[in-house]
Structure 1
Amino acid sequence: MSKAVILGTGSCLPKRVVTNAELEQMVDTSDEWVTTRTGIKNRHIAGEGELNYQLAAKAARRALAVTGIEPQEIDLIIVATLSPHMIMPSTACFVQAEIGAVNAFAYDINAACAGFTYGLDLASQYIQNRPNMKILLIGSETLSARVNWEDRNTCVLFGDGAGAVILGSSSDDRGVMGSRLHSDGNSWHMLCMDSPESQNPDLRYDDYVGPLIRMNGSEIFKQAVRMMEDAVNTLLREQGVTMDEISILIPHQANIRILKKLRERLGLPEERVFINLSKYGNTSAASIPIALDEAHRQGRLQRGDLVLLCTFGGGLTWGSLLLRW
């Protein structure tokens, strides 16, 4: 059975960098408060010419350039996002037009911060059934358009950006080995974002606050560590792999306290966990592909390495995925 292998990576960050010091001028916060509680120092915020699909397309072009694959060779484009350019058409359709991938079909998925990992599992299923496929998978967000800039508990956390991978089939033992994906719709209220207000008055509800991110941070912390730890350990048991065999863990970049606690529970040394949270903040579905691209370009990913991904997001959605690089 063919496995889906990552052939190339790319990423794109908006030009503007917003520091904690700048946020001090906007809300009641401080660099010390944000750094201590989140580990975030900077975040990139999109500006003119940096719409969601434009960031996604730039990341895609960089991934394509690494592989030498032409846009016309792409069969499928999947964009994981919770901040699409439009509700209809999909951001993936805009990307298709932007890069000239005229032979691809395209659609978005929304699993919040877990979107890229869900998408990687989905792309793997396509390639198992159709080994000749070339798939462009992108995680792309402009969360600055969905943040309440008066809420100091959330506005300090999020950033914009996009990461992309090109997937094809492997001719050896490399590729996606397995995954454990989960959802809990009963806990949706812990991390959520409303749609635009309904134009049907009968479908409106009393506590509507606008299409803004809302989060119960303390509850998310409790759930995220436990759920990711369980997803990782279950997956490794299923694959017959020990933690000692993992070359690198690339987790969703949400909060440094969550990442430290997770690393401790998994028994991994710092040098085997990739963290770039301080530079970009939480970029939701773009978080893991941006980190993948950065780790790849830094030489942290070598052929044959066992790479472990884990993630947690609104929904609630969470999971883990194991691949051989």
Structure 2
Amino acid sequence: MKNARITGLGHYVPERIVTNDELSTLMDTSDEWIVERTGIKERRFIDPQKDTLANMAAKATKMALERANLQNEDIEFIIFATITPDYFFPGNGVLLQRELGLESIGALDVRNACSGFIYGLSIAEQYIKAGTYKTILVVGGEIQSTALDITDRGRSTAVIFGDGVGATVVRATDEKRGVLSTHLHADGRFAEELYVKDPGSSRPREERQPEQILDTTGFKVHMNGNAVFKHAVVRFHEVINEALAANHYKKEDIDLLVPHQANLRISKYLQEKLQLPDDKVYNNIMRYGNTTAASIPIAMSEAWEEKKIKDNDLICLAAFGSGFTWASALIKW
């Protein structure tokens, strides 16, 4: 049986940097307030006149393919994880396929929010182990900025999210390395603790047509921050230990933990719980905010650039988010 190995990493973030100080001119907040609660100093927002999720994904893919020494035509299947597609439908997989000039290859969209990239990686792993494909593009990308309520009413979420895309090339290999295992979980009882209600389909017709809606709050992100934090710190720890146990490793064997960049306080709590030194945990939330499905592949791409991911390292990925969903992956690089 073939193993699934990540051979190329790439990322793209919009040019526009939005600092906490800039947000403090638009709502009742401050750099100190945001940093204390989230660890975020700045984030990237798209330019709606030129940026789309699809064209940003194509730029991230170009970087990943170059690093893998491959061409667009080598891609056999696309998996695109996002909850902020360019269109309500079709999904962004086919839009990226078009951007890359590819025809007829399959494209699958994953809507598991912050856990979406690991869910997508798990799907790629299974396709490769089954012999269905040899080269799969797995992308995580989001455009959050255009949906944020940048007012006092929305500040609890508006200061958190940012835009960006990360891409990975996953290939079949005979080597004894690659994705060792993935672990996926969900608990729909808490779906409404972090969600965007609209445009949902289970509505009377008049409520699905925005021109007839006076109250548009259903289109904004709703998050019960306390509930998310309480569950996240438990599930992160559980799912990392699950991955380690499944492969007969201990926490001391981790060379680099790349957690979903939800909140620096969560990452620091997790680091303390696992007793990992600073050089074994990668965080970039201070620069980009929470980019949901994009956060792990962006962080991996940057960590690789900084030579913090090396051959034969044991890399652990972990995520928790809307759904609630949570997931982990253990990789022998």
* TM-score, scaled to structure 2: 0.94
Aligned counterparts of 1:197 and 1:129: Cα–Cα separation in 2: 35
1:174 Cα deviation after fit: 1.1
Aligned partner of 1:237 among 245, 260, 269:
245
Show the counterpart of 2:56. Answer: 55
Query: Are the counterparts in 2 of residues 198 and 204 from structure 1 also a CA contact under 8 Å?
Result: no
Equivalent residue, structure 1, for 2:321: 313
User: What stretches of structure 1 of length at least 5 have no aligned partner?
Assistant: none
1:301 alignment partner AA: I
- The amino acid across from 2:302 in the alignment is E
Separation in 2, partners of 1:10, 1:179:
21
Aligned equivalent of 2:172: 169
Question: In 2, are the aligned partners of 1:175 and 1:324 still within 8 Å (CA)?
Answer: yes
Q: Which residue of 1 aligns with 2:143?
A: 142
For 1:136 and 1:235, locate their aligned partners in 2 and report how far apart those are by CA, in whole Å.
Answer: 23
Q: Secondary structure at the match of 1:44?
A: strand
In 2: Cα distance, 1:203 partner to 1:186 partner: 28
Q: Given the alignment of the two structures, is residue 225 of structure 1 paired with residue 228 of structure 2, yes or no? A: no
Question: Post-superposition shift, 1:269?
Answer: 1.2
Which residue of the partner structure matches residue 130 of structure 1? 131
Q: Is the Cα–Cα contact under 8 Å of residues 75 and 103 in structure 1 kept in the other structure?
A: no
Tell me the amino acid that sits aligned with residue 302 of structure 1.
K
Name the counterpart of 2:36. 36
- Contact 2:127/2:133 (<8 A) preserved: no
Identity level (%) = 40
Structure 2 equivalent of residue 279 of structure 1: 287
Task: Tell me how far 1:199 sits from its aligned partner.
Answer: 9.8
3-state SS in 1 of match to 2:95:
helix
Q: Which amino acid aligns with 2:138?
A: L
Of stretches 285-294 and 175-184 in structure 1, the one that deviates more from structure 2 is 175-184
Distance 1:41 1:106 in 2: 35
Compared with structure 1, are the counterparts of its residues 244 and 197 closer, same or farther at alpha carbon in structure 2 (3 Å cutoff)? closer
Contact 1:250/1:288, CA 8 A, preserved across alignment: yes
| Residue 219 to residue 173, structure 1, CA distance change in 2 (3 Å) | same
- Of 239, 247, 252, the match for 2:260: 252
Q: 1:155 aligns with which of 158, 183, 197?
A: 158
Give CA-to-partner distance per residue, 1:149-177, whole Å, 9 cap, x none: 22110000000000000010122111110
Runs of 5+ unmatched residues, structure 2? 209-213
Q: Which amino acid aligns with 2:56?
A: L
Mapped pair 1:194 → 2:197: yes
1:296 aligns with 2:299: no
Structure 2 CA distance, aligned partners of 1:33 and 1:131?
A: 50
The CA distance in 2 between the partners of 1:50 and 1:219, in whole Å, is 33
Q: Aligned partner of 2:196: which letter?
A: M
Cα distance change, pair 253–238 in 1 and its aligned pair in 2 (3 A): same
Q: Deviations over 1:12-62 (max 9, x none)?
A: 000000000000011110000001110000000011211111111110111
Whole-angstrom distance in 2 between the partners of 1:169 and 1:70: 16
Amino acid corresponding to residue 116 of structure 2 in structure 1: G
TM normalised by structure 1 equals 0.96
Structure 2 CA distance, aligned partners of 1:130 and 1:298? 33
Residues 72-106 of structure 1: per-residue CA shift (max 9 Å, x gap): 12110111000000122211111101011225211
What stretches of structure 1 move > 4 A for 4+ residues in a row?
A: 197-200, 202-208
Contact 1:38 1:157 in 2 (8 A): yes
Amino acid at match of 2:40: I
**Alpha-carbon RMSD:** 1.7
Determine the C-alpha separation between the residues in 2 that align with 1:256 and 1:141: 19
What corresponds to 1:178 in structure 2? Answer: 181
For the Cα contact (< 8 Å) 2:80–2:93, is it kept in 1? yes
Q: Distance in 2 between matches of 1:233 and 1:246?
A: 11
Secondary structure (helix, strand or coil) at the match of 1:244 reads helix
Q: 1:199 to 1:269 in 2, by over 3 A?
A: closer
Residues 265-314 of structure 1 deviation map (CA, whole Å, 9 limit, x = unaligned): 11211110001110000000000000010001111111110000000110
